[in-house]
Amino acid sequence: MRFYYNILLLCLILITGCSSSGSVAQTKAATNVVQQIDLSKVKIVNIANLHTSFLNSRDASPHHETVIEIKGDVVAFSLTEDNLYTVTLREGDSDAICYFNNSISDEIGNGMKIHSGATLTVRGQCFTSGLFSSKPFTLDGCRIVD
């Protein structure tokens, strides 16, 4: 019986510990990093190349924890249970999930800056997604680049 309890506990730790992307704490910390970054250190990256770098790397992608800029079309947006806004950008066949704090609440929705089909450039801190995530990376602490 104790063996099964330990296995169950280990599985729960793996599931919760491996899916930390998009957490409130991570997004808050990333927001500070993105706001304070020296713009000469920001990399402009194609979403498809970014996607490939996370899928093909046995080690962490060279973009993990770096601040990057991407450009794509808005295909989805939502508000999470933790009051974080997610915006999914698509470039070609590749998607990127971008996490924003509530500072964009007045800019999201039909007729606003962030709406389905809008083309946006977003700056955020890139992180490897959790083990069970459908996407290999996320951008946290995002802001729209004008």
Q: Which domains does the chain have, with CATH numbers?
A: 21-144 (2.40.50.140)
In angstroms, the CA 34 to CA 123 distance is: 7
In angstroms, the CA 123 to CA 67 distance is: 7
Structure confidence at residue 11 as a pLDDT band (50, 70, 90): very low
Q: Pick the more confident residue, 5 or 22.
A: 22
Q: What is the pLDDT of residue 40?
A: 94
Q: Pick the more confident residue, 130 or 51.
A: 51
How long a stretch of residues is the chain? 146
What is the pTM for the complete model shown?
A: 0.81
Check pLDDT > 70 for residue 110. yes
Listed in sequence order, the residues at least 6 apart from 22 whose beta carbon sits closer than 8 Å to its beta carbon are 80, 82, 84, 86, 97, 99, 138, 140
Q: Pick the more confident residue, 91 or 20.
A: 91
